[in-house]
């Protein structure tokens, strides 16, 4: 059963030049079949040009209990945002 198989996180690059983006997860006995399952589950409507799969157990995640000390201090530091510059109209992607 799939519950016996490890979980893999799936990342899809939707086109050249863009980054891989997390789209979901699949169960699979190993990396090759995880790629096959990811291909069949997440790219069947032409969503991607490249796939990564990563064992979910290998991901080191931040602790939600620490969210306060990790993220809240950034909220009061507006000087870190580049909002005090005038951006020329010709510059589109910033």
Partner 1 sequence: MASLPPIDVPRGVTGAGSFDAPSASEADSARIDYLLRLGDDALVLGQRLSEWCGHGPVLEVDISLANLALDLVGQATLLLNEAGDGDRLAFHRDVLDFRNCLLVEQPNGDFAQTIARHLLYSTWQHMLLQRLQQSSDQFLREFAHKAVKEVAYHRELAREWTIRLGDGTEESSRRMAEGLDWNWRFIPELFEVDDNLQALIERGIAPDPNAFEAEYRSQIGAVLLEAQLEPPADQRPILGGRRGHHSEHLGHLLAIMQFLPRTYPDATW
* Residues of this chain that bind partner 1 (CB under 8 A): 1-2, 5, 26-30, 32-33, 36-37, 40-41, 44
**Helix or strand or coil: residue 8?**
strand
Least Å distance, CB 74 to partner 1, is: 39
In the complex, minimum distance from the CB of residue 11 to partner 1, in angstroms, rounded to a whole number: 17
- Decide whether 49 or 87 has the Cβ nearer to partner 1: 49
CB crowding 18-40: b at 16 or more within 10 Å, else e: eeeeebebbbbeeeeebbebbbe
């Amino acid at each position: 059963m799939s519950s016996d198989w490890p979980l893999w996180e799936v990342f899809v690059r939707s086109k050249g030049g863009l980054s891989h983006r997390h789209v979901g997860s699949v169960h699979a006995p190993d990396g090759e079949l995880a790629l096959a399952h990811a291909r069949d589950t997440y790219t069947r409507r032409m969503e991607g040009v490249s796939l990564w799969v990563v064992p979910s157990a290998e991901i080191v995640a931040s602790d939600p209990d620490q969210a306060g000390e990790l993220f809240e201090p950034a909220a009061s530091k507006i000087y870190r945002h580049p909002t005090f510059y005038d951006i020329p109209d010709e510059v589109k992607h910033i």
